[in-house]
């Protein structure tokens, strides 16, 4: 699919999630996806159980109603509130399959249920749309955007927002970047390769639209951090410096970026939160 069309579909999915949050009446964080389920009455039922490694979530159509299944195995991990953020994101993701028209019609037309792996672990477009719906629902811009754009971002800012919205650090990093007017980005590293990533509107303004997906990590300090423990089985943090073109497809050179590294053992990935100085990013006259 054309990249621009794909991005438009993902953006519309997030906007629909925001619209649902507003329609249900959330005017403060956190947004509770179970309240959205309940607002649908008999048309939508939810059932949680420990489905082990079978799936994170699944939506089934049973004629008179939809059944939303969610895996509670993640509730065994440390968390605040009734459920672990992975569980609430899963429910929000399955609500995406329920509210997104194409997904809903697919199930009602006899299509098999989605066996979802949530929280940006899938490259399938339908699953990514549901992930983006979930970010819009759980972190609607009308609750988050002003906070994101008050000052240049730091990882501490993202952490505080993640705690207030009761979502995973992964999903908050992604949503923060989506809404941020300052130059920042997030990438996922699996093994020694860049798996996926997103750039902010602030980075897009200077031509940095995409990350170097599929390429090996070339930042020296990031490589050193990875080499200290390649298992990704233990939570670790670190930081370093490099230049933006190590991570992003960018024609200009030598734009310095600060790298924050966070190893996420549950998904065996390293998240890299990148930030650049706004004035330095805007300094090149080629992009003014």
Kindly state the helix (H) or strand (E) to which residue 101 belongs, with its residue range.
helix 101-108
For residue 58, the 8-state DSSP code is: E
Least confident of 130-134, 230-234, 268-272, 282-286: 282-286
Say what the pLDDT of residue 256 is: 97
Question: How many helices and strands, by DSSP H and E, does the chain display?
Answer: 11, 9
Lowest model confidence (mean pLDDT) among 52-61, 117-126, 140-149: 117-126
* Confidence category of residue 98, pLDDT binned at 50, 70, 90: very high
184-190 β-sheet, strand order: 193-199, 184-190, 269-275, 256-264, 237-243
Evaluate whether 114 touches 126 at the Cβ level (below 8 Å): yes
- DSSP notation for 119-145: SS----HHHHHHHHHHHHHHS-HHHHH
Strands (DSSP E) found in 155-245: 184-190, 193-199, 237-243
Where does residue 122 fall: left (phi above 0), alpha (psi -120 to 50 degrees), or beta otherwise?
Answer: beta
Please check the confidence at residue 281 and state whether its pLDDT lies above 70: yes
Task: Taking the CA atoms of 9, 14, 17 and 21 in sequence, report the sign of the dihedral they define.
Answer: negative
The structure tokens listed for 242 are: 């490099």
* Predicted local distance difference test score (pLDDT) of residue 135: 97
pLDDT score of 225: 98
Q: What is the pLDDT of residue 121?
A: 66
Residue 287 has pLDDT above 50, yes or no: no
Do 3-141 and 181-287 agree at the fold level?
no
For the record, the structure tokens of 83 come out as 């459920």
Answer yes or no: is pLDDT of 122 > 80. Answer: no
Q: Is residue 255 pLDDT above 70, yes or no?
A: yes
- Give the pLDDT band (50/70/90) at residue 118: low
Whether residue 123 is predicted with pLDDT greater than 80 in this model: the reply is no
Helix axes 85-99, 101-108, angle to 10 degrees: 80
Q: Which sequence spans correspond to the domains of the chain?
A: 3-141, 181-287
Q: What is the pLDDT of residues 64-79, one digit of tens each?
A: 999 999 999 999 888 8
Cα(190)–Cα(194) distance, integer angstroms: 7
The pLDDT value given to residue 120: 75
Query: Which strands sit side by side in the sheet containing 66-71, from one edge to the other?
Result: 44-49, 66-71, 57-61, 114-116
Q: Supply the pLDDT for residue 93.
A: 96
So what's the architecture of 3-141 in CATH?
Orthogonal Bundle (1.10)
Write 123-127 long-range contacts (CB < 8 A, 24+). 123/196, 125/1, 125/6, 125/9, 126/97, 126/102, 127/93
**pLDDT tens by residue, 43-57:** 999 999 999 988 999
- Say which CATH architecture domain 181-287 belongs to: 2-Layer Sandwich (3.30)
Q: Of 107, 103, 102, 96, which is closest to residue 63 (Cα–Cα)?
A: 107
């Amino acid at each position: 699919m054309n990249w621009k069309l794909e991005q438009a579909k993902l953006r519309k999915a997030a906007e629909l999630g925001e619209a649902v949050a507003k329609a249900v009446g959330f005017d403060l964080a956190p947004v509770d996806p179970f309240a959205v389920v309940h607002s649908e009455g008999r048309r939508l039922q939810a059932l949680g159980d420990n489905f082990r490694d079978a799936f994170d979530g699944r939506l089934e159509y049973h004629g008179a109603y939809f059944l939303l299944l969610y895996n509670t195995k993640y509730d065994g991990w440390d968390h605040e509130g009734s459920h672990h953020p992975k569980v609430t994101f899963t429910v929000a993701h399955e609500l995406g399959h329920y509210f997104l028209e194409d997904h809903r019609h697919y199930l009602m037309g006899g299509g098999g249920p989605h066996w979802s792996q949530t929280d940006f672990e899938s490259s399938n477009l339908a699953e990514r749309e549901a992930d983006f719906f979930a970010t819009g629902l759980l972190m609607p811009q009308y609750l988050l955007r002003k906070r994101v754009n008050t000052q240049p971002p730091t990882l501490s800012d993202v952490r505080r927002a993640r705690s207030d919205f009761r979502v995973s650090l992964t999903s908050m990093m992604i949503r923060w970047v989506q809404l941020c007017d300052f130059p920042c980005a997030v990438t996922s590293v699996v093994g020694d390769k860049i798996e996926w990533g997103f750039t902010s509107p602030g980075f897009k303004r200077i031509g940095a639209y995409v990350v170097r997906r599929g390429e090996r990590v070339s930042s020296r300090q990031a490589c050193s951090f990875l080499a200290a423990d390649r298992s990704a089985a233990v939570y670790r943090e670190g930081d370093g410096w490099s230049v933006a073109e190590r991570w992003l497809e960018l024609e200009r050179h030598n734009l310095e970026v600060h790298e924050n590294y966070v190893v996420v053992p549950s998904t065996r990935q390293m998240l890299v939160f990148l930030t650049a100085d706004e004035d330095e990013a805007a300094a090149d006259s080629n992009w003014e």
